Each structure stands twice: as C-alpha cells, then as structure tokens.
C-alpha cells in the first residue's frame, strides 16, 4: 500500500503527515490527530456524524481519503470555538436542549455552521434541507431546528471567527 | 494506529494527464479504479464488492472540474464537477435549470459536495437522478481512450444497470449539452421513501418548449429514472403530445404511455406495480406543472 506525505491545515494548525493510501480523513482526524469529536457512525456517507468542513464546505470525512485532503483546510467540531468562546451555534444547542445522546451533535454543529455561512437567515425549510445528511435518533430534530433558528438571529455579531467566513 | 482501517489496502495516484490514466487502465483492467467524488467507489470498496489494487484520482486533470457555457455551443461540464457546483453555476441555473434541480435532488448537501455528475452517470445506476435531464437536453458523453476523444450520445450511453458504452481503457472526461431549446421549461419530480435524501423509487423529468412548426405548438420530452434497467426517454408519449392539444386529456394519455414504457423491479424500496402507478402520477403532475409555466411565459 502506497504512503503519501500530505500537508493539511486542521483547525488552524498546519499538519505535515504521512498517510497510507486507504486511510480516510475520518481515521486521520480521530486516530492520528486524536480529534475524537468527529464521530464514526455509518462509514458510508449516510448519517453525517463525521461531517467536517473541508475548504469551508461540509463533507463526510468517512467518504474522503486522507490523501485527498492534501493542501486543504479542515475544520472539525473542536475548531468551532474561538478565544474561549463557543460558536453561537454551540451555545444555542446547549440553551435549546438540542442535545440528547450527543453522538450526532458534532456533525449537526458543522452542518449548521456551514448553512449559516452560506445562508445567514435560513427558513425552517432551508434548515431541514441542510440537515438531510445528518441523522439524529433522539431529539426528533425540533429543538435542533429551533437552536439553529435562534443562532441565525444572533450570528451577525461575531464575525471575527475565521470559521464563520466562507472558505475558512 | 488505534483501530484498523475500514478500507482494505490499495495504492493511490493522482493522475496528471489523460494518457497516463489510459495507460494505467490498460495495464490492469480489473485492479485499477478511478476516483472522483468517491461516494460510490469508497462504499463499494468498503463493502468488498470491488478490490482495487490501484485507485487513480482523476478529478484534478485539466478541465475535469470546470463548467463552461457558450450561447452558440452550449454547456460543457467536466466529469468531476460536483452536484453542488453544478446546481450553483449561474449558467446552469439560467439555461439548464432542470439539470440544477436534478443535481439538487441527489442525497444530502454533504454528499453533493463530493458526488460528481460524471460519477452519477458513469456508474449507470438506473436511479441516477441526473440521467433523465442529461437525456432530455440531448447531451453527449465525452470519453477519452486509447484512440483519443470520442462522444457518445446520452441516449446510447446507458446499456444496463452498471453498464455503459465505455470501452476498456476509456474514461469520462466531460458532458456536453447543446444549447437548450428556446423557451424551455423543465421539472424533475422524484419520489423517495422520505422527502429528501433517499434514492429515487421513481423519478420523472419533463422538458417542454414552444415549437411553431407542429400542430400542437409545443413539444414535450419525458425522461424516467429508477423504473427500468436504464434511464430512458418515452418517445411514444412525446409523439402523442406533439400531435395533441396540450391539456388534461393529452397529459393523462401521455402519462399512461410513460407508465407502460416503465419496466420496474420489485425491491425493498417499492413494488413493480407501485412504481408504475407513480410514473403515471408523476408524469401527469410534471406535465401540468411545465405546461402552467409555459403558458405563464
């Protein structure tokens, strides 16, 4: 199996790594970089628990080879908070009780952040459409949608967070 | 490493020229697999359906990720253009909205950031959501192989589930769409087990446009997904509509012909009879919708 030297920026840190060809980005994040906030659910791009931002856009990390991430910028749930301050999305998930078992939460947060980056004031329909690829088996989604709605009304304040600009 | 990899081992190479890809494909017909978005490939490798020795990443080849539009010649979409890129392209939205609508119906937003038009077509799933639009716009599939480039009309590209007109040593580089018919209006209606994210149980695309040269004054093209071994156009229904006055009666008759043209399978997602019935309903509904917008102008 071929091995590849890659450079990838993860949550603002430049990482120089050597990865086997068949390693997924999810395995790289969880095993090599010990960023275990990103979860492994289905390993098939169905459940969204492994959603991360790659060059500012959400992807299923289980469906990306680590070697393909060479030269990209990746943001995981660990990279959402900045300067000891939670992302407003994280805060609203807590305030609204949008978390039960928590397994889907990191992927939900990333998809929600990506949505607000491209559509700062989404309708409920747009929120639900943006979460099609994130399965939650506990909450029934209602509080998750509410949390994102609340976040969208307060999101304008903190634009200093690099994760909040498209292409971060 | 803390845990074993979910994917069996293989080698990886990022191709830099089309000829390099052809050489690799010819050197090992079974062991070489091409990678673009990976959303089908990696699942199949993980599930053990295929065992590549070498994965060749072709999405960085020149032109593979580009969308180009020209009023005279039409639209060229690189095979590795993602669904989100395609659906968000201003020229696609303006001139081929049916294609954008179809691309947006695929899976989830995350998947659409990776899934490609070329992959959706090249895997030749009967359920490929973009295939009906590609058929209705009468696009050509651009293939590169040992003898250089050739084009295959979309109508001749799909041969069966997972089978296409691609020959050994060939791979898809682009999809070329001629300029759309003037005043065309389209709709893709997809029925899944839930409202979004699922594979199609049945998909129906309709493209309608004015044609003063025929008695009815309008032409309609009808394409079906997920209800036959290949995505297909329903010529019988199209012919009927070109010789009848548009309206409920003609739309019902055309919908019946579309249902008759379908040859669906029974599977876990739906029965043959249900799929046929849904082809009839979706065709009628799509025709009504397209007609209403054609008349509104």
The domain locations on chain A are: 3-79, 88-157
The pTM of the full predicted model, rounded to 2 decimals, is 0.95
Regarding whether B74 and B171 lie in a shared domain, the answer is yes
Residue B227 in domain: yes
How many Å apart are CA B65 and CA B61, to the nearest integer? 8
> From the list A30, A59, A67, which residue is nearest B114 (CB)?
A59
Task: For residue B288, count other CB atoms closer than 10 A to its CB.
Answer: 17
Per-residue pLDDT of A6-27, as tens digits, reads: 999 999 999 999 999 999 999 9
Where does the pLDDT of residue B5 fall: very low under 50, low under 70, confident under 90, or very high at 90 and above? confident
- Least confident segment among A159-168, B71-80, B101-110, B169-178: A159-168
Interface contact flag, B1 A31, Cβ < 8 Å: yes
Residue of B2, B110, B197 with shortest CB distance to A31: B2
* The pLDDT of residue B194: 76
CATH 1.10.150.20 is held by the domain A88-157: no
pLDDT at A168 over 70: no
Residues B170 and B206 in one domain: no
Mean pLDDT computed over A154-166: 56
A50, closest residue in chain B (CA to CA): B110
Strand partners, A24: A65
Range of the domain at B80: 67-177
pLDDT at A167: 43
Q: Is residue B189 part of a domain?
A: no
Mark whether B258 and B205 lie in a shared domain. Answer: yes
User: Do B137 and B206 share a structural domain?
Assistant: no
pLDDT of residue A157 exceeding 70, the answer is no
Residue B182 inside a domain? The answer is no
Tens of pLDDT, residues A34-81 = 999 999 999 999 999 999 999 999 999 999 999 999 999 999 999 999
Mean pLDDT, to the nearest integer, of B112-127?
A: 96
Same domain, B22 and B97: no
Note whether residue B188 is domain-resident: no
Do B23 and B99 reside in the same domain of the chain? no
Q: What is the dihedral of CA B4, B6, B8, B9, to 10 degrees?
A: -60
Contact call for B110 and A51, based on CB within 8 A:
yes
Mean pLDDT of chain B: 95
Least confident of A87-91, A158-162, B25-29: A158-162
pLDDT at A162: 57
Tally of domains within chain B:
3
State residue B187's pLDDT score.
Answer: 98
Instruction: Report the residue of B3, B8, B12, B88 to disrupt the A interface, i.e. the one with the largest count of A CBs within 10 Å.
Output: B12
B140 lies in the same domain as B228: no
| Band of pLDDT at residue B4, cut at 50, 70 and 90 | low
- For domain A3-79, say whether CATH 3.10.20.30 is its number: yes
Q: Quick check: is B122 in a domain?
A: yes
User: pLDDT digit string (tens) for B173-203?
Assistant: 999 999 999 999 999 999 987 777 778 899 9
pLDDT for the residue numbered B112: 97
The verdict on B166 and B200 lying in the same domain is: no
**CB nearest to B113's CB, from A24, A57, A65:** A57
- pLDDT recorded at residue B2: 46
CATH code of B217's domain: 3.30.390.50
CB pairs < 8 Å spanning A and B: 99
Residues B149 and B218 in one domain: no
B2, B42, B111 ranked by CB distance to A133: nearest: B111
* Domain CATH for B102: 3.30.465.10
Residues of B in contact with A19 (CB under 8 A): none
- Residues of chain A whose beta carbon is less than 8 angstroms from a beta carbon of chain B are 1-2, 4, 20-24, 27, 30-32, 43-45, 48, 51, 54, 57-60, 62-65, 67-68, 111, 114, 129-130, 132-134
* The pLDDT of residue B58: 98
Question: If pLDDT is split at 50, 70 and 90, which confidence band does B269 have?
Answer: confident
pLDDT of residue B193: 78
**pLDDT tens digits for B198-230?**
788 999 999 999 999 998 999 999 999 999 999
Average of pLDDT values for B243-261?
97
Contact residues, chain B, for A32 at CB < 8 Å:
1
Strand B32-35 to B54-57 pairing: parallel
Mean pLDDT, to the nearest integer, of B228-236?
A: 96
Q: Is B193 on the interface with A (CB under 8 A)?
A: no
Q: Are B231 and B223 in contact (CB under 8 A)?
A: yes
Kindly state whether residues B122 and B168 are assigned to the same domain.
yes
């Amino acid at each position: 199996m071929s091995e590849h030297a890659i450079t990838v920026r993860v949550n603002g840190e430049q990482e120089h790594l050597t990865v086997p060809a068949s390693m997924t980005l999810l395995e790289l994040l969880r095993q090599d970089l010990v960023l275990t906030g990103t979860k492994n659910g289905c390993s098939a791009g169905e459940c969204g628990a492994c959603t991360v931002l790659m060059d500012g856009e959400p992807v299923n990390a289980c469906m990306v080879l680590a070697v393909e991430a060479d030269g990209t910028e990746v943001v995981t749930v660990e990279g959402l908070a900045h300067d000891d301050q939670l992302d407003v999305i994280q805060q609203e998930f807590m305030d609204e009780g949008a978390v039960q078992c928590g397994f889907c939460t990191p992927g939900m947060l990333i998809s929600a952040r990506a949505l607000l980056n491209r559509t700062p004031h989404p309708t409920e329909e747009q929120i639900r459409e943006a979460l099609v690829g994130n399965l939650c088996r506990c909450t029934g989604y209602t509080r998750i949608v509410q949390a994102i709605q609340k976040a969208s009304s307060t999101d304008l304040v903190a634009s200093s967070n690099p994760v909040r600009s498209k292409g971060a | 490493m803390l845990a074993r990899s979910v994917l069996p081992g293989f080698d990886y190479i990022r191709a830099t020229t089309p000829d390099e890809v052809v050489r690799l494909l010819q050197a090992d017909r079974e062991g070489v697999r091409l990678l673009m978005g990976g959303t089908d490939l990696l699942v199949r490798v993980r599930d053990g359906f295929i065992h590549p020795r070498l994965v060749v990443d072709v999405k960085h080849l020149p032109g593979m990720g580009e969308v180009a539009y020209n009023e005279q010649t039409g639209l060229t979409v690189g095979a590795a253009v993602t669904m989100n890129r395609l659906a968000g392209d201003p020229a696609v939205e303006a001139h081929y909205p049916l294609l954008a609508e179809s691309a947006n119906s695929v899976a989830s937003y995350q998947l659409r950031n990776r899934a490609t038009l070329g992959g959706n077509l090249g895997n030749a799933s009967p359920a490929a959501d973009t295939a009906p639009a590609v058929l209705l716009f009468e696009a050509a599939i651009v293939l590169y192989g040992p003898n250089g480039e050739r084009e295959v009309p979309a109508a001749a590209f799909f041969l069966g589930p997972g089978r296409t007109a691609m020959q050994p040593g060939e791979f898809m580089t682009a999809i070329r769409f001629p300029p759309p018919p003037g005043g065309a209006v389209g709709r893709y209606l997809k029925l899944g087990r839930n409202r979004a994210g699922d594979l199609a149980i049945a998909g129906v695309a309709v493209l309608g446009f004015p044609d003063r040269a025929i008695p009815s004054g309008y032409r309609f093209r009808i394409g079906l997904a997920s209800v036959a071994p290949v995505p297909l156009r329903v010529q019988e229904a199209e012919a009927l509509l070109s010789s009848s006055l548009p309206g409920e009666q003609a739309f019902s008759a055309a919908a019946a012909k579309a249902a008759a043209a379908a040859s669906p399978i029974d599977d876990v997602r739906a029965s043959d009879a249900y799929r046929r019935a849904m082809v009839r309903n979706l065709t009628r509904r799509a025709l009504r919708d397209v007609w209403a917008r054609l008349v509104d102008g």
